[in-house]
Chain A
Amino acid sequence: MALFEAVRLHKRFGQRVVLEDITLAFEAGTTTGLMGPNGAGKTTCFNVLTGHFAPTRGRVLLDGRDVTGLAPQTIARLGVARSFQTISLFDTETAQDNVVVALPRIRARVADAWRDLARDTAAQDEAAALLGRVGLRGRERTRARDLSYGERRALEIALALAGDPRVLFLDEPTSGLGADGTARLADLVAELKRRYTIVMIEHDMRFLFRLADVVHVIHWGQVIASGTPDALRGDPWVARSQLGAG
């Protein structure tokens, strides 16, 4: 049984077909890429999988358990973490404190003031370890707003990892990154994929083909093609595209 599954998902916004009969299975330990043109339904698919939208029809299963329609926080607590296309950090706090407040046991103590967190050395150590895991060792004390764009993206991934997720969703992780930033992020994801089950939306085919074990192409709200990067790269029209030319 797959760790996480979407079964015959449909989503309509009025008359507009946004998702039509999407079935996907994410196996534990694999990295899956979802790609497709703009407006193809990738982000809506993510939003349905992570509980941000309810599907019009269909089911979402985590470890065989039906989690369709559960609130995003509930799905997150069950082990589904996600990063967003747009960055959401506490800019004036340090990288490490951003991670500390994302730790589940800290999140539960909502009334605590930031200064009390400094005394929770176990939480600080945990946060520092997570920062190390995303390549931000040495940047623990830097305020989030003083990090580079690429470092902020890495910090966002650290926040998603704070809940020790069973599935990590990354929504267009390379968006806004230049060539160097993308290369560093690719190294980071290559490292993370040894430890986590990852699902990522990405329009950068080259990035996805390097990192994903399986890629699903989404268009018209459906899975129009699936395969290993090698199999998909064999398509003659891919060979004629920028990807093939490069």
Chain B
Amino acid sequence: MARPPPAVRVEGLVKRYFAPGWPRRETFRLEADFTVHGPQTVGLLGANGSGKTTLFELLTGSNLPTAGRVRVDGLDIHRVRYGERDRLAIHYHQSYQVRHFRRTTPSFLLARAARDRPLVHLFDEPQFSIADGYIGFMLAFFRRLRSEGRVVFVCVHPNEPFHLEILREACERFLFVRSGRIVEFADFGALVADDAVRAYLGALAPAAPGRPPAAGVS
């Protein structure tokens, strides 16, 4: 039997934005190359404006890459009918986060999604609040999706200690967006041991063996 395709294959993906005018001046650049082979919960971290939401838009096919390709369940997401792309990868965002993109190819020329339930679920900065009591239900939902064979991406920009607790509890693997590139970490320990990640987390960085605690943590 043929091996199933990886759940998500991001190959040579590049997105560039330019300021209007000539000569063209690049204002944003994101490069990504990674694979998610099967069911997994992936944490995505990065500063505001680093390109986390852009990456999600590229993975769900709403935003077009400058170069490269995104395959979900073996299908090039940008070659799937617009209305069926969320059968492959679904982006949950707040209404203010929804951006609209031009659609250039008539839908009938594009492929069918071939799935009914989305394989990839992308949660874009969910509003986590200790006070309302919903965090446990949200984490249980991520676990359920994963146990059903889906891929879960959770994008968080940690600014509270419990955000790190959530990432540690929920995610098996991490992607960190920095300076237009994506750095991968195999687990939470590797993530929080990285100097660039620790600098990004600032005072939230957990104390590591052999390191003094970050400034500002008592």
Contact = CB atoms under 8 A, between A and B. Distances in A.
B84 to A, nearest CB: 12
B133 A242 contact: yes
Interface in B111-130: 117-118, 123, 127, 129-130
Contacts of A224: 137-138, 140-141
A217 B138 CA distance: 9
B131 to A, nearest CB: 5
21 contacts: A14-B98, A16-B93, A17-B90, A17-B92, A20-B90, A37-B132, A39-B95, A219-B134, A220-B123, A224-B140, A224-B141, A225-B137, A232-B137, A235-B137, A237-B130, A237-B135, A237-B136, A237-B137, A241-B130, A241-B133, A242-B132
A236 interface: yes
Interface residues of B, number: 27
A240 B92 contact: no
B102 interface: no
B147 interface: no
B98 A36 contact: no
Given A217-B134, A237-B135, A225 B94 contact: no
Interface in A39-95: 39
B42 to A, nearest CB: 17
A contact face: mostly helix, strand, loop, or mixed: mixed
Nearest to A222: B141
Contact of A15 (B98, B134, B135, B137): B98
B117 A21 contact: yes
Contacts of B117: 21
Interface string A216-230: 010111101100000
A225 B140 CA distance: 8
A201 to B, nearest CB: 15
A243 interface: yes
Contacts, number: 67
Contact of B136 (A36, A37, A222, A235): A235
Interface of A: 14-17, 20-21, 36-37, 39, 205, 217, 219-222, 224-225, 232, 235-238, 240-244
Interface of B: 62, 86, 90-95, 98, 100, 117-118, 123, 127, 129-141
A108 to B, nearest CB: 41
A205 B133 contact: yes
A5 B93 CA distance: 27
A237 B131 contact: no
Nearest to A38: B127
Contact of B133 (A21, A220, A237): A237
Residue from the set B62, B134, B141 with the largest chain A CB neighbour count within 10 Å? B134
Contacts of A244: 133
B130 A240 contact: yes
